[in-house]
Amino acid sequence: MTIDWGWFPDHRSTLVTLTLDHLSTAVPAVLFGLLIALPLAVIAHRVRPLRGLLLGLSNILFTIPSIAIFVLLLPVTGLTRTTAITGLTIYTLVVLLRNTVEGLDSVPTKVREASTAMGARPLRTLLTVELPLAFPVIMAGVRVATVMAISLVSVASYIGYGGLGQLFTDGFQRNYPTPVVAGVILSLVLALVADAVLVTIQWLCTPWLRRRA
């Protein structure tokens, strides 16, 4: 297998476009996933009977092959980027929901009770006490979900919105490995850079954890 390194600079603009495409599918997926997972996690955390149901349902969604999810969404959302984003949102949801519930569970009962005793309503306790304390565990979920979403975008290339995944299809059809290598490397780099950005955000947002370390 020979790789034509000269191909890379020749296709710089294509690579940039595909990378941006890739991000514009993965990033909204994680954001939407978070938007849906947070309220669901609060419900799962507070209403015990619903907890098993919500976590179980999200685990079942995780077992469906990603390619099938994209295809099954086609009749609803059509051959658009929405299909790719919706499919990935479903996947990020699993990780985000589980981690947010775990994060909320990790807040000591006494801390919650102290907040209530000081007169805070449940919503205020949630926003000012529970969520900040659960933040590191929630962020761990966001990191996993982001890295996973970036690697999964490629699967959407079967429906034409796979970002860097288009390079895989291209290389496969022409029996030409160079674009495939380019796609794998760029997808990996993108995931690792995104992860580093999230670690930095977490570090900036949790000054109280820094002093201890």
Partner 1 sequence: MLELLQNLLRWLTSGSQWSGPDGIATRLLEHLQYSLLATLVAAAIALPVGLLIGHTGRGAFLAINLSGFGRALPTVGLVTLVFLASGLSMWPVYVSLVALAVPVIVTNTYAGMAAVDPEVRDAARGQGMRWYQVLFQVELPLALPLIMTGLRLACVQVVATATIAAYVSFGGLGRYVFDGLAQRDLVQVLGGAVLVAVLAIALDLALAGVQRLLFRNRPPRAHAH
| Nearer to partner 1 among residue 13 and residue 63 (C-beta) | 63
Minimum Å gap between C-beta 38 and partner 1 is 19
| Nearer to partner 1 among residue 122 and residue 172 (C-beta) | 172
Minimum Å gap between C-beta 183 and partner 1 is 5
In the DSSP assignment, the letter for residue 126 is I
Minimum Å gap between C-beta 118 and partner 1 is 29
CA dihedral 129, 36, 47, 206 (to 10 degrees): -20
| Nearer to partner 1 among residue 118 and residue 189 (C-beta) | 189
- CA dist 104 and 97 (Å) reads 11
Tell me the C-alpha to C-alpha distance, in Å, between residue 8 and each of 11, 17, 18, 175. 5, 13, 13, 17
- CA dist 73 and 65 (Å) reads 13
Interface positions with partner 1 (CB under 8 A): 1, 60, 62-69, 71-72, 74-75, 99, 102, 140, 143-144, 147-148, 150-155, 157-158, 164-165, 167-168, 171-172, 175-177, 180-181, 183-184, 187-188, 191-192, 195
| Nearer to partner 1 among residue 13 and residue 175 (C-beta) | 175
What are the residues whose beta carbons fall under 8 Å from the beta carbon of 186, sequence distance 6 or more?
15, 18, 19, 22, 164
| Nearer to partner 1 among residue 99 and residue 125 (C-beta) | 99
Minimum Å gap between C-beta 72 and partner 1 is 6
For tokens 């979403």, name the residue. 149
Minimum Å gap between C-beta 52 and partner 1 is 13
User: Please, where are the H alpha helices in 48-164?
Assistant: 48-63, 66-77, 81-105, 109-117, 122-125, 131-152
